[in-house]
Amino acid sequence: MSRSSPPPSARRAPRDAAGAAPEAVKRPASRLGPLDPRAPYLLPLVTLLVTRAWLARAMPTANEDAYITFRYAANWAAGLGPVFNVGEHVLGFTSPLWTALVALGVTLGQDPVGWARSFAVLADVVLILAMASLLERHASRAAAWMFSMLWAGYPFFAAVAVSGLETGVVVSLLAVAAWCIDRKSPVAGVALGALALSRPEGLVMALVLMPWASRRDRIVGGGLALAGIAALAIYFGSPVPQSMLAKASLYGTPGPWAGRHWWEWMLPMPLSAAAASSEGANLRVLSVLLCAGFVGGVLPLWRARGTVLAGVATALVAVWLGYSTLGVAYFYWYLALPLAGAVLVAAVGLGHVSRGPLIPVAAVLSAAGLWLFAGNLYVGRAGIESQVFLTMSGLIEKQSHAGESILLEPIGMIGWRNRSLRVLDEMGLVSPALAERRREGPGWYADVVTTQRPDWLLSRRGVLVKNVPFAGAGTPFRSFEERDRVLADYRVAAAQDTLIGDQAWVIYHRANANP
């Protein structure tokens, strides 16, 4: 042996394409498995349960939009079909799978808020187990630790889990489908089909992931997806969610710059003094590390493109690029998919752009530190929604009668607590004709009130008093004279303090309606 050659024991083990040691030289798995405190499972799972439990206790109600799905699910469980208004077959929810799961809970006598939260937390547990396993196998243990701790400890992901909405569950389904494909599980095709039916974005991600699946899994997953899509088309007349069409047409798709709320938080330099969203402002704390890690993770994932981990990253980033390119309207729970993609790629990359644990630990501590104020962001939002909407829905519940109709926005909690009322939705999520009329131009509110003669009107002061649309296209009235004429048959039943301004709520009741 040459004196200049290091002994075999001192030579570095060869690395695979993703930067991890190959199977032959990897550290043997601990007999404790997920219970081993050195593995990226036990501490993240404990953190996950603590954060979700704290937020669930601090937020007694679900997100406003979750109650739209709850009303669909309750009607379905009651044998009326998956409808918002009885007899009206409108696909106003975006997740057939999530609606069916909530309907199952209601059928079993469960409160939909608690049921949805329990299922979402369970999905988070499964997500960490599956994704950490994939990262350990195809990237590194450090990457698995990084992703698991950020998903478990970052306030945003905890808020999504207790929101009653499904986007966190969609990420979990992606991880489960990928894990099953990786392990050649016989249920991989079923997982792919479930992912495809979870949301429109889930369908996109399932299609992106299919090349990594076996032929059998592609056939099973594709067959389940096509069967579900066909069932939606038969029942609703179209498999495309009306809620998605209404938001796209009324909010528009103005492009990347207007949609910078989806990507500005990844840049290590701020584009403006104020971020485009509250979540974006919080993510500025992590932007330097996220950006460096993301850039550093692209090449290792490209080298490991034959692994299903690369497929997961590609699927999440594809959705992120779609949101950013179109400038999709911002709703905070949508961020779960883009942010999951950013965190996943950054977790892989941080091991390549840094030496030692200090930088990954700093990232985790930065995320944990956001609980000092970011947690209150979601608690505050929920508190305002709960206080305002519970008060208004209770007032309408006491004064309204079964079979009456109400024109309003938003339709979630009020529609849930007043399920005997027919809802006319200002945004058209469950009222396609109304969304179509709004696209035609000014006077849409006047025309809807004149033709539909709703018994109740609930809207913001700016809409009814100042003739200013709250969101979306179309001025409510053609003129103030038209507004006065249309509202002449209505009387104010309740109103918030006008000091709140144009966002104050006003409730009108038709004068000749049932006393």
Q: Are residues 470 and 428 in the same domain?
A: yes
Kindly tell me if the per-residue pLDDT of 194 is higher than 70. Answer: yes
The pLDDT of 9-13, averaged and rounded, is 39
Q: Are residues 361 and 408 in the same domain?
A: no
Q: Does residue 95 fall inside a structural domain?
A: yes
Domain membership of residue 464 as a residue range: 400-510
Q: Does residue 26 fall inside a structural domain?
A: no
Kindly tell me if the per-residue pLDDT of 143 is higher than 70. Answer: yes
Q: Are residues 354 and 418 in the same domain?
A: no
Range name among 63-72, 314-323, 406-415 with the lowest pLDDT average: 406-415
Kindly tell me if the per-residue pLDDT of 15 is higher than 70. Answer: no
391-427: pLDDT as tens digits = 888 889 889 999 999 999 889 999 999 999 999 999 9
Q: Are residues 428 and 355 in the same domain?
A: no
Q: In the structure, what pLDDT confidence band is assigned to residue 503 with cuts at 50, 70 and 90?
A: confident
Four-CA torsion 444, 450, 453, 455, nearest 10 degrees:
70
Four-CA torsion 261, 262, 265, 270, nearest 10 degrees:
-40
Q: Are residues 419 and 351 in the same domain?
A: no
Q: Are residues 46 and 103 in the same domain?
A: yes
Q: Does residue 303 fall inside a structural domain?
A: yes
- How far CA 79 is from CA of 66, 105, 169, 241, in Å, comes to 20, 14, 26, 21
Q: In the structure, what pLDDT confidence band is assigned to residue 514 with cuts at 50, 70 and 90?
A: low
Q: Does residue 423 fall inside a structural domain?
A: yes
Q: Does residue 382 fall inside a structural domain?
A: no
Helix (H, G, I), strand (E, B) or coil at 508: strand
351-363: pLDDT as tens digits = 788 778 888 888 8
Q: Is 33 left (phi over 0), alpha (psi -120 to 50) or beta?
A: left
CA separation for the pair 148, 254 (Å, rounded): 34
- Phi–psi pair at 501, nearest 5 degrees: 95, -150
Kindly tell me if the per-residue pLDDT of 134 is higher than 80. Answer: yes
Q: Does residue 55 fall inside a structural domain?
A: yes
- The pLDDT assigned to 419 comes to 93
Q: Are residues 441 and 503 in the same domain?
A: yes
- The pLDDT assigned to 499 comes to 63
- The pLDDT assigned to 388 comes to 79
- The pLDDT assigned to 513 comes to 59
Q: Does residue 32 fall inside a structural domain?
A: no
Kindly tell me if the per-residue pLDDT of 298 is higher than 50. Answer: yes
Q: Does residue 88 fall inside a structural domain?
A: yes
- How far CA 353 is from CA of 258, 349, 473, in Å, comes to 32, 6, 46
Q: Are residues 89 and 228 in the same domain?
A: yes
Q: Are residues 330 and 473 in the same domain?
A: no
Kindly tell me if the per-residue pLDDT of 151 is higher than 80. Answer: yes
What does the mean pLDDT of the chain come to?
89
Q: How many domains does the chain have?
A: 2
Q: Are residues 195 and 63 in the same domain?
A: yes
Kindly tell me if the per-residue pLDDT of 385 is higher than 80. Answer: no
Show Cβ contacts of residue 479 under 8 Å, excluding neighbours closer than 6 positions: none
Q: In the structure, what pLDDT confidence band is assigned to residue 158 with cuts at 50, 70 and 90?
A: very high
Q: Are residues 190 and 71 in the same domain?
A: yes
